[in-house]
Structure 1
Amino acid sequence: MVAFTDHDKVAGLAAKQGIIRNSANTVRHVKDVIGRPWSDLVKYAKESPVRMLEKGGEVVYQVEYKERLTTFTPIEIAAFIYRKMMETAESHGGAAESHDAVITIPTYFNEEKRRIIRRGAQAGGFNVLRMISEPVAAVLAYDIGQKDTDEACNVLVYKLGGTSLELTVIAVCGGMYRIVSTYCDATMGGGVIDHILAEHFAAEFQRRWKSDCRANKRSLAKLHNGAEMCKHILSTRETAQVSVDSLFDGIDFQTTIARGRFQSMCSSFLQQCLEPLEDVLKQAGLTKDDIQKVLLCGGCTKVPSLQQQLAEYFSGAELLSSIAPDEVIAVGAAKQASILSGLDQAELDQCATFTDVACLTSDILIETSRTDGSRYMPVLTHHTPVPVRCQKTFTLAPEQTQFCLHLLQSSVAQPDPQTLAKIVMKDLPPEAEIKAVFHVKSDGSLHVTCTEPISDTMQAVTVDAS
């Protein structure tokens, strides 16, 4: 979070403290915007309190900064956040001798988004040693498979953060971590709990004072801030006091809520947070009995009733929460950085350490006209380790003399298939057989070659990593 004022720009807690008065100039959740074209963000921009504009097909933020309307790109916002991180590190440990860092990213980030994040971190002053996925960093924080490389297990990383629910199954074998399946829902997060609490407090205020504070945006923002603080307190204590000065019409609001009441109010939402477990396990080809460890990640997993329900669901698994769930990803990244820091480039290239196996971040599809009604057929699915090669054979009908292969991709972040390329072959013999070879190289680039042996026809296309 970054806030712009007439005098300065601030990040983190300082930005959050002024968000009620300065909402239109406070940029939030920049990670959701990075690497996405304007066409994907039109609806998002309409709902954003900060003005978002289109510039060359990309998005920029327009804010009032030092008494002037100024635009900033998402990468500039990210760079400022990383710069503040650097300053924080230096203030705690003196002038840093090394600016080496390991950066964590969501599992669904493609190569383009990873490059943007890397550039932002470098602009912020960091030397990026490596980028690893967030759930892998969480597993590394607990040294799973590192102290004993013979350890083999399946780990479910359960992450419930402020804005999303993310589930990841990771197979650990021989010190190697491989992401087997993932699930992400950007509509489920701590913000939902804040909303439930805020609605409860608003109703209580209305009962007492016969006024609906929800009619005022500033009052509602104050209430949401109070609800968020209350949520954090109830994760560790039995009761929480909520106090909001001048909530509405100059009236101060004070109340107390017990953890039991809080958990009862949120029970339906927390139950919804458990429902995707079956899907992510099915995607991995596993059952809940195949999971040996469940790792809690994200501040909302501190809620005791959620921990209890997870422990009951995975009754045979070890529940890992000894490292603060809202810090575990950072701990894992710090451990990896401590190992890699000081190595020269050749050693870095050879260093296996935990080895986060490189995998596809999206599904590779082809368009079909199959009789079962399905429009797209997967060729390679996300989380397939790369490099990888596969082959498909297509037979033309007697009357066909042309062949068109339409390549598409879809991902968690962009579920609607997007065109990658098309291969067209003409003047083919009747009932021709076309062999298509799909090859994803280690750099993420896709190479597709189609051949028809009778006419000695070949067409190929290369799609760079993006």
Structure 2
Amino acid sequence: MGKVIGIDLGTTNSCVAVLEGGKPVVISNSEGGRTTPSIVGFGKTGERLIGQLAKRQAVTNAENTVFSIKRFIGRRWNDTEDERTRVPYACVRGKDDTVDVQIRGKTYTPQEVSAMILQKLKQDAENYLGEPVTQAVITVPAYFTDAQRQATKDAGTIAGLEVLRIINEPTAAALSYGLDKQDQDQCVLVFDLGGGTFDVSVLQLGDGVFEVKATSGNNHLGGDDFDNVLVRWMMDNFLQQEGIDLSVDKMALQRLREAAEKAKIELSSMLTTSINLPFITADATGPKHLEMELTRAKFEELVGYLVQATIEPVTHALKDCDLTPDQIDRIILVGGSTRIPAVQEAIQDYFSGKTPDRSVNPDEAVALGAAIQAGVLGGEVKDLLLLDVTPLSLGIETLGEVFTKIIERNTTIPTSKSQVFSTATDGQTSVEIHVLQGERAMVRDNKSLGKFQLTGIPPAPRGVPQIEVSFEIDANGILRVSARDKGTGREQSIQISNTGGLSEAEVERMRKEAEVYAEDDERRRQMVALRNQADTLLYSYETTLRDNADFITDDLRALATEKVAELRAAIADRNTALEEMRSCIDALQQTLLTIGEAVYQQAQAEASEELYDYDATTQTAPWANGHTPPEPPAEDYEEFVDDATITADYEAVD
């Protein structure tokens, strides 16, 4: 069995880790970074750029660069209006009311785009381990709905991974923190503020058991929102100064986003920063430059309401597990956005001055925890038990559009619960089971997960039939609902996988497409290598021709010229097949070998002729200008006529 990797599939950045020698290790990507931007860029010729390469070209290719796709995965069109207005790429309403993206005339689901990022992480892991990787543990925000969890699992399948487990991000971070502290009993609060989501989990650690007591959060709050506040501030200021609205210019908007992120990061360690964007736009008077100063105080004023929004879920989580702030032993900060000083101060104030624990890397802790869970599932880690919870209550619609809860939030998973219901009218022969997730009393205020029918109920007065509805949540937090007529034994069930209308067949089709693209990607890499080889060969040909022109016959020169022309044509044609390119390279290479052989033979023949004409008696040194040098005077040799007579005295020195 191969290694199982742990993946933190983030909104802005992703990370992959693996367990080695009982310790989790972050795997660097092919560019040398320990995290990979969750960005996919689509080039003009169909090539895909993922991670740092995609981020670099985002400004000049804004409409075809997809970022923050995690904000759309498993969500409905009507729920994402704000998010859709913030991205430069085209969002279209997909099948089953989902949010798809349209790039260069082709439509992609959020699962497909996420799978592209996962493929990149999978490839980096394979390069590091030197073996194929087929299994993974993937993390999701604790407050992800059932649909979002299933969609993430589908993305893993499309990427060619068997997803052994979906685990919550704050739980994974707690695993990373507590792996070497299993002998200590402590109550830990994980404060996870990432790029697009916010989670809070309270865990009890001790004796190798990681038990989640409660979880809360906000799927619409993260570092992206802090960036967007700065973008809006810059646009408003520029509009006042220059009278130009930058929101209509997608390239300018992308530059503003990058500048906002950079300023936010700088203000975590500095009190002021300069934002300089030359040639941000132009009008009739010429080019315009954006130059602004931003202080930390102003930044904290702008994002104050976002910082305060992180405190409410903390209160909810503590209330759900009947704990007070002073009963928390450790506060673990996870996610890059927790580096913002205002966030740290807010959480410290809430806990009466208690300093958060900084022993884990906010960007890597989740992936490391996923790798630990992967080790548990792979049998590498013993004596470690993870008990997670469901973040939201689950139930069904009953008479009067009332939401009746069957599984309460913060119930430890896996779990199953049943409840008996009856018909609402006389003679009713079927019932519709409407499954929902949420905390509100009425159906309309909660999230619909799906509907199914139980038919074939014998006609009877209302209230007589006994319909048993069972809810079962697996270890991934994914729900299965069944309904059974206790009188007839007739049963109907549904696997809640309403992730955007992706059936198993569609997921399999997308997986095969991803495999084909991986093959195309490999072909592209091979073609680049062949083009480089061809360039080297052409240079070698030109050098050979220049240095040995006198030795090359006209026939060989004509043959080489023909092969060079064929190779240049193959290089110029973007549609040239790999085999054709190899054939052209081999043909020119063979011609060059023939030329080399001819040059060598000709040079050898000329050297033999010169040797035959050589006359030692008439040869003079080239510097003698054809004259034989005079013999030196005889007296120069008198003292050394006979070397055998030369003697020398030696004196020993003490």
Residue 61 of structure 1 contacts residue 72 of structure 1 at CA under 8 Å; is this kept in 2? yes
Who is 1:6 aligned against?
Answer: 44
- Partner-residue secondary structure (3-state), 1:276: helix
Contact 2:71-2:83 within 8 A present in 1 as well: no
Say whether residues 1:219 and 2:219 are aligned partners. Answer: no
What residue number does 1:300 align with? Answer: 337
Pair 1:147 & 2:181 matched: yes
Deviation, 1:211, is: 5.0
Matched AA of 2:172: A
Partner SS state of residue 227, structure 1: helix
Q: Secondary structure at the residue paired with 1:305? A: helix
User: Match of 1:323, SS?
Assistant: coil
Paired with 2:386 and 2:371, the residues of 1 have a C-alpha distance of 15
Bigger drift between 257-266 and 95-104 goes to 95-104
The whole-number CA distance in structure 1 between the counterparts of 2:243 and 2:496 is 59
After TM superposition, give the deviation of residue 77 of structure 1 in Å. 2.1
- 1:165 aligned residue (190, 193, 198): 198
Cα offset, 1:296, TM superposition:
1.3
Trace 1:150-299 onto structure 2 (pairs within 5 A): 151-205=184-238, 209=242, 213-214=246-247, 216-249=249-282, 250-299=287-336
Match among 71, 82, 92 for residue 118 of structure 2:
82
> Where do residues 310-459 of structure 1 align in structure 2 (5 Å cutoff)?
310-315=347-352, 319-337=356-374, 339-340=375-376, 343=378, 347=379, 354-357=384-387, 359-360=389-390, 363-369=393-399, 375-390=402-417, 392=419, 406-411=432-437, 415-423=446-454, 425-428=457-460, 432=464, 434=466, 436=468, 438=470, 440=472, 442=474, 444-451=479-486, 459=490
Percent same amino acid at aligned positions?
26
Alignment of 1:125-140 (within 5 A): 128=163, 130-140=165-175
Cα distance in structure 2, aligned partners of 1:405 and 1:316: 55
What secondary structure, in the 3-state scheme, does the structure 1 residue paired with 2:310 have?
Answer: helix
Shift of 1:287: 3.3
Q: Counterpart of 1:80 in 2: which secondary structure?
A: helix
Shift of residue 2 of structure 1? 0.5
How many angstroms apart in 1 are the aligned matches of 2:231 and 2:78?
33
- Residue 70 and residue 465 in structure 1: after superposition, are their counterparts in 2 closer, same or farther (change >3 A)? closer
| Cα distance, 1:186 vs structure 2 | 3.5
Distance 1:378 1:123 in 2: 33
- Distance of 1:422 and 1:259 partners within structure 2: 57
The answer to whether the 8 Å contact 1:165/1:185 transfers is yes
C-alpha spacing 1:458/1:83, structure 2 compared with 1 (3 Å): closer
Distance change >3 Å, CA 289–CA 438, structure 1 → 2: farther
Partner-residue secondary structure (3-state), 2:387? coil
Which amino acid letter does the alignment assign opposite residue 482 of structure 2? H
Query: Any idea what the Cα deviations from partners look like across 1:428-455, whole Å, max 9, x if unmatched?
Result: 468758474635264743334454xxxx
Contact 1:292 1:316 in 2 (8 A): no
SS at match of 1:319: coil
Task: Provide Cα deviations, 1:14-35, integer angstroms capped at 9, x if missing partner.
Answer: 2223223322211223333434
Shift in Å, 1:117: 3.6
CA distance in 2, matches of 1:273, 1:465: 30
Report if the CA contact (8 A) 2:428-2:462 is conserved.
no
Match of 2:102 in 1: 62
Q: What RMSD, in angstroms, separates the aligned Cα atoms of the two structures?
A: 3.9
Query: What displacement does 1:379 show?
Result: 1.4
What amino acid is the match of 2:494? V
Task: Please say if residues 62 and 254 of structure 2, whose CA atoms lie closer than 8 Å, have aligned partners that are also in contact.
Answer: no
Query: More helix by proportion, 1 or 2?
Result: 2
Q: Given the two structures, how large is their TM-score scaled by the length of structure 2? A: 0.58
Q: Which runs of 4+ in 1 moved over 6 A?
A: 37-47
SS of alignment partner, residue 6 of structure 1: coil
CA contact (8 A) 1:439 1:448 kept: no
Map Cα deviations across residues 405-447 of structure 1 (whole Å, 9 max, x no partner): 6533333699333443355755446875847463526474333
1:396 shift after superposition: 8.5
Q: Within 2, Cα distance between the matches of 1:78 and 1:263?
A: 33
**Partner amino acid for 2:114?**
A
In the alignment, residue 462 of structure 1 is paired with which amino acid?
S
Measured in 2, the distance between the counterparts of 1:311 and 1:9 equals 43
Higher strand share: 1
In the aligned structure 2, how far is the partner of 1:190 from the partner of 1:402?
A: 52
Q: CA deviation at 1:114?
A: 4.6
Q: Is residue 217–residue 313 contact of structure 2 (8 Å, CA) maintained in 1?
A: no
SS in 1 for 2:102: strand
Residue ranges of structure 2 left out of the alignment (5+ in a row): 1-38, 440-444, 498-654
Task: Give the number of aligned pairs.
Answer: 443
Please give the TM-score of this superposition, normalised by the length of structure 1.
0.78
Compared with structure 1, are the counterparts of its residues 419 and 2 closer, same or farther at alpha carbon in structure 2 (3 Å cutoff)? closer
Secondary structure of residue in 2 paired with 1:188: coil
Contact 1:238 1:259 in 2 (8 A): yes
2:142 alignment partner in structure 1: 107
Measure, in 2, the Cα distance between the counterparts of 1:266 and 1:39.
Answer: 26
Higher mean displacement: 316-325 or 18-27: 316-325
Please report how far the alpha carbon of residue 271 of structure 1 lies from its aligned counterpart in structure 2 after TM superposition.
1.8
Displacement of 1:3 after TM fit?
A: 0.8
Amino acid in the other structure paired with 1:356: L
Cα pair distance change 1:283/1:63, threshold 3 Å = same
The 3 A distance-change label for structure 1 pair 401 and 187 is same
Distance 1:3 1:43 in 2: 22
Contact 1:360 / 1:386 at 8 angstroms: preserved in 2? Answer: yes
Larger-Rg structure: 2
SS state of the match for residue 325, structure 1?
A: coil
Q: Is the 8 A contact 1:363 1:411 kept in 2?
A: yes
Q: Which moved more, 1:410-419 or 1:233-242?
A: 410-419
- 2 CA distance for matches of 1:153 and 1:21? 50
